[in-house]
Structure 1
Amino acid sequence: MMQNHKISVALFLALSSVYLQTATADTVAKKQPANSGHQPSLAAKASFITEFDQNSDDNVSQAEFNLIRQQRYQQMDQHKNQQVTAVDYQTEYADRLDRKLKQERDGQIQQTHTRVKALDKDQDGAISLAEYQASGERAFAFLDTNKDLQINKQDPAPTQRTERPAAANTSAAKSTSAKPEQATARTTVRPNSVLKMPTSHNLTGMLEMYDQNQDGLVSKAEYLEQRQTAFNRTDVNSDGVLSADEYLNEFVDRLDRQVASVRTSQLKQALVRFKALDKDENSWLSQAEYDASGARMFKRWDTSGDATVTMAEVLPKAEAAPQTAEKTAATDKAGNAYNAKSRAVTSDQSSQDVAVKPN
């Protein structure tokens, strides 16, 4: 399977060089509060537990975590010499990413079948314009909390619809007697999704989808006009209604474009992670370097220090704030030097074929 994802070292170097050179500009452009940092969430912890929980007890022991990490390194280390290249690292991740994208894509399509049935209020097997716009009206009314017929970031936040009960962020003991009351990854908190589609049911998605002139607001008139245009475009046979297939095909087209975008972005991020893990900057990832990274990851989530990660533990503290412009520039300079070293180390392999697995 890994061979199917092999990309040329030349392509890797080109991607990493471009990405690293633009990273500084992107970082400087994003103005953030001085003390802002990445705050771990319950969803992120649920994702961690889902990824590494082998016996489905909604906990991750140190042994479970270490075993999966060891298996991943062995899969990456194709030559069994403890010298994992950036391509090896990216390829192993691509295998896991593609499986997750497929799983989430299938889930999104299943939800769309359910959505079609919900929109078809008269159950005649098709979605009329009135039914389609009525759904849009409800979404707009939910976000237009001050009822001024426009949606912008200054509107008071709507009361969130209930989905799943949230787990409390407490330091509850992990004793056997406490287990029935514990929040669990699979029953109370939805893990983070890698494949996120914009939706008109939240402010960010509404603005992304309907704020065409980028002025930070969406009026009801332009919203309904855009939905009318979308309806007409989706009504391929121009019969005035949307069949289930027409509705689904339009969504799948957008979904697959999002899959491609997410995959490209995630694989670029894998190259950046490899660089961060390659502490001695020799263009190889040793077993020791990979193990050290895993140890830091597990320790961060295991806030109680008992070698088991559960949803009941208090969340880790926020990570350090993003680098200053000066530090970022220094990182960029180091990244350029790293790329030069990578080119020297791998120049004899630059003729490898590109064979990226299709989405």
Structure 2
Amino acid sequence: MKSFALSLLLCTLVLPAAPTLARQAPPMPPAISPEQMQQAINRVKEADSNHDGMITRVEWQTYRTAQFSHFDRNGDGVLSEADRPRLAGRRNGGRLAEMMALLDQNHDGQVSRAEFVNGPMPAFDQADLDHNGVVDGYEIKQAETRLP
């Protein structure tokens, strides 16, 4: 009887929120090619600022902070359509648009520094197999072996 009451309570708390949660779900990261995956692995390795062979989520955010200025080609403090032609050639333009949509949390058509640094981290999350917030040497090797 106790478990039935608990189940009923959970249903009354969760089900009304389900439509709201569904609307707020972030878009899935776009699929990436083996070459792009290798580039992502290399970026994860570059983020190891203390060279201990493990990359923490904080190290990854610090790395992304430093990368923002590189991507903000026109120096206006946001990533937008104005930066796209310089960032992506014809073959990567669609992927870049998808990534910008993923990072643009307030849907204003631009990605601020905060959105870029604190936004979804698909490369890190895919490499962090045990989801402990740290990518270690074993997980990097596993990511590399998954490449075709």
Normalization by structure 1: what TM-score?
Answer: 0.24
Higher CA-based Rg: 1
Normalization by structure 2: what TM-score?
Answer: 0.48
Q: Which has the higher contact order (CA 8 A, sep 6+)?
A: 1
